[in-house]
Amino acid sequence: MKTYFTVLQSVYKKDNPIFLSQSLQSIAENTVQPYSVVLVKDGILNHELESVISEWQSKLPLKVVGYEKNQGLAYALNYGLQFVETELVARMDSDDICFSDRFEKQIALFEVDSSIEILGVETKFWQEGLRRTIDYEFVKKVQGWEPRIRFNLFSKFLLTSP
């Protein structure tokens, strides 16, 4: 696979450092590696989160950016976009764990059909033994990439091309 993509994540002080580490681990173990991982620090972080980020900087192509005051997820993701150097952006939350072939499967779909601009994935949620699955079989061609549309899409989709 020759398609380059960037993983875009945001982290803030109330995020769980263990979950962040697991999320970054799932990126590192993927069958297709990102060109970069843009990690936006949405405000000042605690020592535990900073330690996780420091540990992963030697293991992943992390580009850590941010600002001092927490602005919220939508702001953080839009801020992070200016540091993305690739056509494709894979969106992950700081507690998301992706299957080892997630990026491979998604990129393959983009390579087969150039009209795809947004692609979702199957999502599995779990918490203390409770498991449920939501299946997203959603592919949509978006007419015009107005800034307002981009802003709203970040809370709904996992992979988009800017």
Read off the CATH number of the domain in which 13 is found: 3.90.550.10
pTM: 0.77
pLDDT in tens, 88-146: 999 999 998 888 888 998 888 888 888 888 777 666 655 544 444 444 333 344 444 44
pLDDT in tens, 145-154: 444 444 444 3
**Is 27's pLDDT higher than 90?**
yes
CA dihedral 42, 15, 126, 57 (to 10 degrees): 80
What is the number of domains present in the chain?
1
- Distance CA(119)–CA(128), nearest Å, equals 29
Q: pLDDT: is 109 or 38 the higher one?
A: 38
Report the pLDDT value the prediction gives residue 151, as an integer from 0 to 100: 41
The domain in which residue 142 lies consists of 5-160
